[in-house]
Structure 1
Amino acid sequence: MKIEGIIFDLDGTILNSFDFRIRAWNAAFRKFGITPKEDELKPLIGLPGSTLAAKYSSDPYAVEMEEERIFSEHLPEISLFPDVPGTFEELRRRKIDTVIVTSSRRKLVNMITLPTNLVVTIDDVKHGKPDTEPYVKAMQLLGITEPGVIMVVGDALTDMIPARKLGNLAVLIKHGRKFDTDIPNYEIDEVSEILSLLDLP
């Protein structure tokens, strides 16, 4: 498989933070007297914070800032998935460039030790996921504009939809969660499984 660059989502993809995000959003909403149903909230993780908050609150920015404050307090408890460092090391050995696209704010991202220095945050674009703009910017950072030679790895449809729109390879990483979708080209359970995909003809 000819892949020249890989775009990774952050939360729930390479960072083991999905459950912490759910807790932070629930706590932030409770502060504003809002109690969203968890089965409704989970599929929204991955959207820009203000977009997610606006589905429940008339003051989405305030809710988003509260969620990021709560989430940041838990950063010492949050780590990369165990196979991430080794996978990125192997990608560097294979000379495959990587970039992260996240709906988080730059200030929060700067507090996390990441396996690549190339990151597109919600602060870097006008339109966040599932718009294609963050991914177009990521492709520009990679210096690759040719469709079909970029793999997008994420744990939400907000990653898969723009990947397919741009003609890139969409890889859904599940980490034990259940999905009912036919949008991705491939589904995997661990980050390191992308290495096997790269070896496919």
Structure 2
Amino acid sequence: MGFQGVILDVDGTLVLSNDAHAQAWVDAFAKYDYQINFEEVRQMIGIGGDQIIPKFAPGLSDAEGKGKEIITYRTQLIVDKFAPKVSPASGARELVEKMQNEGLHLIIASSAKAEELGVLLKAAQVDDLLNQDEATTSSDAKNSKPAPDIVEVALSKLNLQPENVVMLGDTPYDVESANKAGVEVIAFRCGGFDDSLLENAIAIYDHPADLLQNYDNSPLSKV
């Protein structure tokens, strides 16, 4: 038997938003007089603000004070400015439809905050296909990726064993998080990470359309 469930990352997987997230961090830190490098924070996209805040502003926390203000402003930038302008990953909608037609149980597991998810799914053109109410976000996990928390919550909601589930993601943090929870990963290059950083995935494709084109020979195939 093949996989019965699929855990879906969103940013960089279904929608090409990783650069936008990095720029939102740069702008949010700048508002509070912290100058950070775009490329450095870009390599951290995929993990949560609980780790990014202390990385670039030692002594601050995402839970209180100025750190929380930076987080709040960054979220506002994503929702109001950046997310409405980003593009869906090639083949994102068609792949979701294919997996649903194949009878796979789908659930979202994203490091994005809940208030960001709706606009990101709309930008990915899959907001009518995926149940946002059942999604797992950073709000549902104590620790963000690469900790396994978000994936473990998604597994619990699917009510499936790890060996019966695969995750679709685009960052090394997706791979590490899922693997720690006992879940294999199919990775996409469209998130902007080198294959060497995705080497622990069971397969790597350019984007959802690439996986869809090769579906019958992919790990998702029941054959």
> Does TM, normalized by the shorter one, top 0.5?
yes
SS in 2 for 1:63: helix
Equivalent residue letter for 1:158: Y
SS in 2 for 1:116: coil
* Maintained 8 Å contact 2:90/2:207: no
1:45-98 deviations in whole A, cap 9, x for unaligned? 111123212211223211111111111122321343241111111111100011
- The number of residues matched between the two structures is 200
| Structure 1 unpaired stretches of 5+ | none
Check if 1:167 corresponds to 2:182.
yes
Check if 1:134 corresponds to 2:146.
no
| Structure 2 unpaired stretches of 5+ | 61-65
Residue 203 of structure 2 is matched in structure 1 by 186
* Maintained 8 Å contact 1:21/1:71: yes
Map 1:1-201; keep pairs closer than 5 Å: 2-57=2-57, 58=60, 59-74=66-81, 75-111=83-119, 112-113=121-122, 114=127, 115-117=129-131, 118-145=134-161, 147-175=162-190, 177-179=192-194, 180-181=196-197, 182-195=199-212, 196=215, 197=218, 198-199=220-221
1:156-195 deviations in whole A, cap 9, x for unaligned? 1111002222222212211173412322222111113444
* Maintained 8 Å contact 2:167/2:185: yes
SS in 1 for 2:43: helix
The CA distance in 1 between the partners of 2:67 and 2:94, in whole Å, is 38
* Maintained 8 Å contact 1:29/1:63: yes
SS in 2 for 1:103: coil
More helix by share: 2
- RMSD over aligned CA atoms reads 1.9
SS in 2 for 1:104: coil
In structure 2, relative to structure 1, the CA distance for the partners of 1:200 and 1:35 (3 Å cut) is farther
TM superposition shift of 1:37 = 2.1
Identical residues among aligned pairs (%) = 22
1:99-135 deviations in whole A, cap 9, x for unaligned? 1111122122234433311310111122221111111
In structure 2, relative to structure 1, the CA distance for the partners of 1:124 and 1:166 (3 Å cut) is closer
Q: Which is further off, 190-199 or 151-160?
A: 190-199
Task: Tell me the TM-score normalised to structure 2 length.
Answer: 0.82
Task: Tell me the TM-score normalised to structure 1 length.
Answer: 0.90
* Maintained 8 Å contact 1:50/1:64: no
The CA distance in 2 between the partners of 1:95 and 1:32, in whole Å, is 48
